[in-house]
Amino acid sequence: MTLLSSRPPQPVEPGLLSRALEVAGRLANDATDVITATAGRGAHPDTKDSPFDWVTDTDRILERHTRRVLAAEFPGIPVVGEEFGADHGADIAEYRWVVDPVDGTANYVAGVPWCAYSLALIDASGPVVGVVADPYRAQIYAAARGRGARANGKPIKLMDRPSPAGAIVCTELTRTGPWPGMGEFIQRAAAAHAGVRVLGSAALSIAQVALGHATAAVLHSYSEWDVAGSVALAIEAGAVVLDRHGEDTALPADGVLVATPSVADEVLSWWQETAALL
Chain length of the chain:
278
What is the distance between the alpha carbons of residues 79 and 172, in angstroms, rounded to a whole number?
A: 25
Q: Report which residue type is found at 152.
A: N
- Confirm whether residue 46 is marked as ligand binding: no
Closest-CA residue to 229 (of 130, 147, 136): 130
CB 46 within 8 A of CB 60: no
First-to-final CA distance of the chain = 27
- Report the alpha-carbon angle 112-113-114, nearest 5: 100
Q: 202 burial class (0-12, 13-18, 19+ CB within 10 angstroms)?
A: buried
Q: For residue 208, what is the enclosing H or E element?
A: helix 202-211
- Confirm whether residue 82 is marked as ligand binding: yes
Q: Which residues are registered as beta bridge partners of 171?
A: 198, 218
What is the distance between the alpha carbons of residues 74 and 112, in angstroms, rounded to a whole number?
A: 34
**Binding-site residue positions:** 82, 100, 103, 226
Annotated binding-site ranges for Mg(2+): 82, 100, 103, 226
